[in-house]
Amino acid sequence: MTLPATDLDTHVGPPVGESEPEAGTAIVGRSPMQLAMRRFRKDKLSMFAFSVVVLYFLAAVLAPFLVKFGVLDPYTFHNTGAGSLLDEFTLPKGSWGGISGDHWLGVEPGTGRDVLARVWYGVTFSLVMAIAATIISVGLGTVFGIIAGVSGGFVDSAIGRLIDLVLSFPSTLMLLALSSLFIDILVHDIHVPEGDVANGTYVVLVLGFFGWPYVARLVRGQVLSIREREFVEAAKLMGASRFRLYFKEILPNLWAPLLVSATITMPTYISAEAALNYLGVGIKPPTPTLGNVLSGSIDYSTSDFVFFFMPAFLIMIIVVSFNLLGDGLRDALDPKGHR
Amino acid sequence: MASKKKRMLAVTAGALLASTVLAACGSGDDDKKSEGAGETGGTLYFNVEKPIDHWDPQRTYVGTDISKQSRLVYRELVTFGTSEDAVESAKPLPDLATDTGTASDGGKVWQFTLRDGVKWEDGSDITCEDLKYGLSRNFATDVIVGGPAFYILSYLDIPADADGTPQYKGPYTKKGQDLFDKAVTCDGKTITYNFNKPWPDFNLAIAALHFASPYRAEKDQGDKSNYSVFSSGPYKLEGTWEKESGGTFVRNPEYDKATDDTDSRNALPDKIVFKMGTKLETTYDAILANKGDAACTVSDNRLPPSKFSEIPNVQDRYQNPDSPYADYLWFNTKKLPLEVRQALAMATNREGWIAAGGGERAYTPAYSVVNPAVAGYKEVPTYKDIPLAGDPDAAKKILDEAGIKTPYKIEIRYPQSETADKQAAALKDTWDKAGFTVTLSPEGDVYYSNIQKPDHNYDVGWAGWGADWPSPMTVLPPLFDSRANIQGGSLGQDYGKYEGKAFNDKITEAQNATDLDTQITLLQEADQILADDMVYMPLEIAKFNWVTGKNVDFHTTPGSNSFPDLGLIGLRNGGC
């Protein structure tokens, strides 16, 4: 039975008979979201981290256009003839890794390619991969978590064992060993374009697949408390379908923990991309990613420190920013959980 | 020394962070000088990055391993000395034999006589039968794999089967044994080899490779003997060789210096310990810093370009010899039209490739696939005319005039390493400008077996080769003669699937030449045919960069293929 529309009015607005609040100190009704936003905005550190993250995203979106129009040039060599920017050891001429007006972060040893262009363009590829992997792992984790939490019983324990299985899998080793096999399958059976796309897709799939159990556990815990709440009981009593129960009743109450967990997951994938690239899996040069620029620079940690430092520094900044942002969001969304 | 297993540029992924800290605070500890000659005694440490493939002499085909074996454990009828001079070092010296051999019948028959008192490590004499047995192992092509057997298989006077392989099938099956016994005969201490065509420099082949090494029959367990060492040299293996970790060589008391009048085996250290599994950068960080055993350490993996800036600090223990190798690009002649190959060659940026690989310390530009140290080396004018930095505009013109649609897709294959990635990107840079769309396809450890597959569809790839002995006969035919290479399930070294009748005919002519000068002229003409057909594009001659610990009196010679010469290396300052 539908509640008469007029009855709703009795729920909102100041109760009849109470005195109007004094002017200037108006009490405004605020949704939990608005409250969270207020708390978040007051947190200076989180706001700073947030702006850094926004800056990275802007840079990532801009980079392909800048490369297209030739403002950034991550591919041209400056290692031969009169225009060579390298000395006899094929290290950059000049101090500080060859930093100059034309090359703000210096040039790469051996090739003379512009470091700024390579790391900037690298941010684009790294972020795209990290976001895609995050979407996969959070998506899978949410679905499995809700199903396990709501269903309980056999389904719950089956998913629980599956989670244990995936977590106990020697994932890094397997993904190194199986990379060429799976990339072959991607290319020949699923017709993913060979090269960067296939290599990148593999990393995204693997990170996503091995990342979902953490999210699923978190979601399951939340669901266990939500499913006992009245509105879920009500929906059940009214004969709501499972699908409606899962995704219309419970999911909307999960966005806060999901947002936090996505924010915390992202940076781990950015560093994971770098680590995997060092081990030989991922997008290969000359296409830059933060990972392959970093792994190419590791040999030069003593001889050309600036070159080594730049990609490492950029990775560090974005990882720290994401983590601070995640912390800030958690504090704002869940004020009871103060540190 | 085929560079089949040569690690491209010897630079793999970078060093671990922790290891670099060592270098940063390194080269203090200057109380001992890094000068002075090596002394007898001490323990030398020899680092190799990846497992050594074989210790079996008949199966060894990697330049550095051949040299290790000659200097330490395996004596040959003739061997190369330790002269620094290129001409002098290319002369064979009598080792197990009393002289450098006698050729007769226009080079078709060779005779050597064993000297007295040469012994195996168990004290028994090295006999003519041992020599004969060693040679026979080459014919067991299903067991003794990996070695340079094809030379003796094609030269020794044994009738061929219908499929072109010799009718003798090796000492394990003994099929056709009488044929072999007729081709190689023993008369007391004198061994006679009969060939089906002239082999004017057979003794150079014995000195350079180990296919004719003596082998004691009862020690032979086929494939199981791959890592066993039965020594005739100044050292012997202590215990067993462990594939993944190495082994230790100690003095062989049965080796009598009086029977060895070569200058190839000073045998100064008492002990030589082979270690493996350490990353190259880590090894060199330790050597540069001179800490502990590293002061007595030698490596046969080159100093990586990222450490070149340390060279001025270690000038007194640094050597930069030319290597016997040449690197080149092969083109798939069955897939790419001639004009495309010519355009690729024209736009090939050798200078950029060299700079990305470490610059003039790491390479000199090449004008032929034949290394300049090989007798009869001649620059090919076609390659001399292509500018070192490549000429994309001229290349574009070649494509336009031939009516080839651009952008033309090209994929380049090479063994992956940080440095190789940069070098390949340097090629891409100018090729793209010439109208190609280039994709890089780096590969792992199986690189050579992939490009040897007959059905591969690759466009262009890297390869490296060094002459087996100082003759162009060991460069052009093994690389481009389709008759010798393309058979069964493999392209051999003819990665570009080249089948040139004119070229093959020239090779036949050269093979039948009785004197070396005619042979060399014919081979120079053959090289020009290859350039006209644009079968390959020479890139550079690799240079080696050696740095050793400060207590090592380091030597490298042409006779050791420019790798560390264990015949001369000794320790000073009392070792470690």
ipTM: 0.74
* Higher-pLDDT residue of A197, A14: A197
Exposure string of B143-157, with b = 16+ CB inside 10 Å and e = fewer, is bbebbbbbbbbbbbb
Distances (CA, A) of A51 to A55, A321, A325, B59: 6, 9, 9, 64
Q: Give the pLDDT of residue A18.
A: 47
Q: Give the pLDDT of residue A85.
A: 87
Exposure string of B120-133, with b = 16+ CB inside 10 Å and e = fewer, is bbeeeebbbebbbb
* Higher-pLDDT residue of B49, B506: B506
Smallest CA-to-CA distance from B286 within B32, B545, B31, B16 is with: B16
Interatomic CA distance for residues A162 and A148, integer angstroms: 11
Give B452's Cβ-side CA count (13 Å radius): 13
Interatomic CA distance for residues B323 and B558, integer angstroms: 8
Q: CA nearest A80 in B: which residue?
A: B352
What backbone phi and psi angles, to 5 degrees, belong to A13?
Answer: 80, 160
A325 forms beta bridges with none
Q: Per-residue pLDDT for A20 more than 60?
A: no
- The shortest C-alpha distance from A137 to chain B (Å) reads 30
- The shortest C-alpha distance from B146 to chain A (Å) reads 26
Q: Give the pLDDT of residue B37.
A: 82
Answer whether A77 sits within 8 Å of B309, measured CB to CB: no
Q: Give the pLDDT of residue B24.
A: 33
Model confidence at B26, pLDDT cuts 50, 70, 90, reads very low
- Whether B425 and chain A come into contact, CB under 8 Å, resolves to yes
Residue with token string 């000492």: B171
Answer whether A84 sits within 8 Å of B355, measured CB to CB: yes
pLDDT digit string, tens, across residues B276-304 = 888 888 899 999 998 889 999 999 999 98
Number of CB pairs < 8 Å for A and B? 111
Answer whether A296 sits within 8 Å of B422, measured CB to CB: yes
Smallest CA-to-CA distance from B358 within A79, A307, A25 is with: A79
- Residue to mutate among A76, A302, A306, with most B CBs inside 10 A, is A302
Q: Starting at the earlier edge strand, list the strands of the sheet with B184-187.
A: B102-104, B109-113, B190-194, B184-187
* Higher-pLDDT residue of B8, B70: B70
Q: Which residues in chain A have their CB less than 8 angstroms from residue B281's CB?
A: 299
- Whether B443 and chain A come into contact, CB under 8 Å, resolves to no
Q: Give the pLDDT of residue A13.
A: 43
Q: Give the pLDDT of residue A23.
A: 55
Model confidence at B400, pLDDT cuts 50, 70, 90, reads very high
Most confident of A132-136, A204-208, A296-300: A132-136
| Residue in A111, A286, A297 nearest the CB of B440 | A286
pLDDT digit string, tens, across residues A226-280 = 888 899 889 889 988 888 888 888 888 888 889 999 999 999 999 999 999 888 8
- Whether B502 and chain A come into contact, CB under 8 Å, resolves to no
Smallest CA-to-CA distance from B561 within B322, B266, B233 is with: B322
> For B148-195, where are the alpha helices, taking DSSP H only?
149-155, 177-183
- The shortest C-alpha distance from A245 to chain B (Å) reads 50
- The shortest C-alpha distance from A107 to chain B (Å) reads 13
- Whether B308 and chain A come into contact, CB under 8 Å, resolves to yes
| Residue in A80, A180, A285 nearest the CB of B425 | A285
Q: Which residues in chain A have their CB less than 8 angstroms from residue B389's CB?
A: 80-81
Q: Which residues in chain A have their CB less than 8 angstroms from residue B23's CB?
A: 302
Model confidence at B570, pLDDT cuts 50, 70, 90, reads very high
Q: Give the pLDDT of residue A37.
A: 87
- Whether B76 and chain A come into contact, CB under 8 Å, resolves to no
| Residue in A88, A111, A278 nearest the CB of B13 | A278
Q: Per-residue pLDDT for B495 more than 70?
A: yes
Question: Which residues on chain A place their C-beta less than 8 Å from a C-beta of chain B?
Answer: 75-77, 79-81, 84, 86, 88-91, 108-112, 180, 194-195, 278-280, 284-286, 295-304
* Higher-pLDDT residue of B474, B8: B474
| Residue in A79, A80, A299 nearest the CB of B15 | A299
Contact B487, B20 (CB under 8 A): no
- The shortest C-alpha distance from B411 to chain A (Å) reads 11
pLDDT digit string, tens, across residues A77-95 = 888 877 788 888 888 988 7
> For B241-365, where are the alpha helices, taking DSSP H only?
280-289, 338-346, 350-356
| Residue in B355, B416, B425 nearest the CB of A90 | B355
Looking at every residue in chain B, the average pLDDT score rounds to 89
B273 forms beta bridges with B45, B248
| Residue in A76, A108, A110 nearest the CB of B429 | A76
Answer whether A285 sits within 8 Å of B17, measured CB to CB: no
Answer whether B20 sits within 8 Å of A77, measured CB to CB: no
Q: Give the pLDDT of residue B206.
A: 95
Model confidence at B14, pLDDT cuts 50, 70, 90, reads very low
- Whether B179 and chain A come into contact, CB under 8 Å, resolves to no
- The shortest C-alpha distance from B211 to chain A (Å) reads 37
Q: Per-residue pLDDT for B31 more than 50?
A: no
Answer whether A303 sits within 8 Å of B357, measured CB to CB: no
Percent of chain B scored above 70 by pLDDT? 94
* Higher-pLDDT residue of B88, B339: B339
Q: Which residues in chain B have their CB less than 8 angstroms from residue A279's CB?
A: 13
Which tokens in the block code for residue A201? Answer: 């897709």
Which tokens in the block code for residue A155? Answer: 């389904």
| Residue in B305, B426, B442 nearest the CB of A284 | B442
Q: Which residues in chain A have their CB less than 8 angstroms from residue B351's CB?
A: 80-81
Which tokens in the block code for residue A320? Answer: 């720290």
Q: Where do the domains of chain B lie, and which CATH numbers do they carry?
A: 18-26+33-273+545-571 (3.40.190.10), 325-543 (3.10.105.10)
Q: How many CB atoms lie within 10 A of CB A82?
A: 4
Long-range contacts made by residues A247-253, C-beta under 8 angstroms, separation at least 24?
Answer: A247/A146, A250/A146, A250/A149, A250/A150, A250/A223, A250/A226, A251/A142, A251/A146, A253/A222, A253/A226
Q: Is B361 exposed, middle or buried (0-12, 13-18, 19+ CB in 10 A)?
A: buried
Element (H, E) at A262: helix A255-278
Q: Give the pLDDT of residue B2.
A: 43
Least confident of A81-95, B102-116, B208-222: A81-95
Q: CA nearest B356 in A: which residue?
A: A110
What backbone phi and psi angles, to 5 degrees, belong to B543?
Answer: -110, 145
Q: In 3-state terms, what secondary structure has residue A293?
A: helix
- Segment B302-326 shows an average pLDDT of 91
Looking at every residue in chain A, the average pLDDT score rounds to 86
Residue with token string 């001649």: B378
- Whether B439 and chain A come into contact, CB under 8 Å, resolves to yes
Please state the pTM of the whole predicted model: 0.80
Least confident of A118-122, A297-301, B40-44: A297-301
pLDDT digit string, tens, across residues A115-139 = 999 999 999 999 999 999 999 999 9
Q: CA nearest A286 in B: which residue?
A: B425
* Higher-pLDDT residue of B513, B249: B249
Model confidence at A219, pLDDT cuts 50, 70, 90, reads very high
pLDDT digit string, tens, across residues B43-66 = 999 999 888 889 999 999 888 999
| Residue in B355, B358, B361 nearest the CB of A80 | B355
pLDDT digit string, tens, across residues B468-487 = 988 888 999 989 998 878 87
Model confidence at B22, pLDDT cuts 50, 70, 90, reads very low
- Residue to mutate among A91, A111, A196, A316, with most B CBs inside 10 A, is A111
